Amino acid sequence: MIKKHYDLVVIGGGSAGMAGAIEAHKLGIKNILIIDRNDYLGGILNQCVHNGFGLTEFKEELTGPEFMTRLSDEVKALNIEYVLNTTVTSILPDKTIFASNRDGYHIIKAKAILVTTGCYERNAGAIMLPGERPSGVITAGTAQLYLNVYGYLVGKRVFILGSGDIGLIMARRLTLEGAKVLGVAEICPYSNGLNRNIVQCLKDYNIPLYLSHTVSDVKGSDGRLLGITISQVDEHNNIIPGTAKGFECDTLLLPVGLVPNSPLLRDAGVELSRNKGAIINERYETNICGIFTAGNVLHVHDLVDLVTKESRLVAHYINEYLKGNSIIDQIYRPVIAGDGLGYVLPHKVGTHPLNEVTFKFRVRRPVKDVNVIFYEDNQTIKSVFKPVLIPSEMTEITLSLDELKQFKQTINVKLEAKQ
């Protein structure tokens, strides 16, 4: 039975939602509800049957389903209330939640909300894929769900566009299940996947990786994919004439990026950043007091261990908020990401942070031997040397309360080549 009032409602019972709820419970918040639209707790990990999860969280290498079960076992052991098969349809700025399930429509009031609704996949339209749209052009996560949960192989001759982790992992999975993976094309001059996956998913199976290549044509017949053409691109991603290569295939897999699943937040009036995640302060609170967010709906993470860590931290801020330790009159200093930085979180830091602040960022392209500099005007407040930074790995740098105090108007972050 869903009650009418909760101290904390967690929307989305994936790893972020469960870790946040567990930590909140441990901090003494007792009246918690987790809502998820699936028929299980665990989110995307249910279909990630490969291993490599949990190296920091549990100090061992687990598969996705094992990782999510560790968390869901704990949710159950702590008697944290959760409802499944229930979709949140909207939230209001006063923290009223509307949810729908088989029993009907529910209106729930929360003192605080943690939104952990994960992300969705970019598709053919989002990348303006040229050519026809026959069946056989499919996003990689969907193919992963079909294969790993429902047991359907999406095709026998597969080409993959995009070398992020999902693409690499699917290249191996499809190969192991008997499909021929002809190659992986990547528009960037470098791969966007973890090294582990380049080695264990492509090199192990001699699957070619075409860097600086994209799909330039898609052809079908009778509604089914017949083949594709890939071409090399220049540094502005323009196709170089005369570089076309054709492949006969029945499937084109599109692991072409993930987008925060944030419409609930947007419709509640939460300000979103360019990447579609919420704009947050150092407490992971949105512009609506009491609405917090973490996990892939905030920014896409490569490691689930970082998702759970983030969400547990947010639970601490939710606890402070519920205890009334929210300083509404603090003035925010915007965090400004300089050239070469994709984004920096949090987007703003108040004049009275409760704790040190860990900034999270990604570079736009791989860089070597750089100093990451936090500065204002001409004054460097912190400089951290990094031998390598790559776009596929989120980097964290922590600033102490003393360091944070030195910024007046803005917190600027830039990369500078080390002499």
Partner 1 sequence: MRELICITCPRGCHLVVDDNKNVTGNFCPRGVTYAINEITRLVRVVTSSVKLTNSVYPRVSVKTKDPIPKSKIGAVMEEINRVSLKAPVKIGDIAIQNVLNLGVDVVVTKNIDK
Ligand X SMILES: Cc1cc2nc3c(=O)[nH]c(=O)nc-3n(C[C@H](O)[C@H](O)[C@H](O)COP(=O)(O)OP(=O)(O)OC[C@H]3O[C@@H](n4cnc5c(N)ncnc54)[C@H](O)[C@@H]3O)c2cc1C
Distance CA 36, CA 99 (A): 10
Contact region with ligand X (CB under 6 A), list: 15-23, 179-187, 274-282, 334-342: 15-23
Contact region with ligand X (CB under 6 A), list: 8-16, 224-232, 242-250, 340-348: 8-16
Shortest separation between residue 56's beta carbon and partner 1, angstroms: 9
195 binds, among partner 1, ligand X, none (CB under 5 to 8 A by kind): partner 1
Distance CA 270, CA 293 (A): 11
Judged by CB under 6 A, does residue 16 bind ligand X? Answer: yes
- CA 132 from chain centre, in angstroms, equals 30
Q: Which residue from 9, 25, 43, 112 is in contact with ligand X, where contact means CB under 6 A?
A: 43
Judged by CB under 6 A, does residue 304 bind ligand X? Answer: yes
**138 vs 399 by CB, closer to ligand X:** 138
325 binds, among partner 1, ligand X, none (CB under 5 to 8 A by kind): none
Q: Which residue from 299, 301, 312, 347 is in contact with ligand X, where contact means CB under 6 A?
A: 301
35 binds, among ligand X, partner 1, none (CB under 5 to 8 A by kind): ligand X
Shortest separation between residue 256's beta carbon and partner 1, angstroms: 21
Shortest separation between residue 396's beta carbon and partner 1, angstroms: 12
Mark 202-241 with x for binding to ligand X (rule: CB under 6 A) and - for no binding: ----------------------------------------
Interface residues with partner 1 (CB under 8 A) are 46, 49-51, 55, 61, 63, 65-66, 69, 147-151, 173, 176-177, 194-196, 198-200, 204, 302-303, 388, 393
Where on the chain is the footprint of ligand X (CB under 6 A)? 11-17, 35-38, 43-45, 48, 50, 52-53, 87-88, 116-118, 141, 144, 165-166, 169, 261, 264, 295-296, 301, 303-305, 307
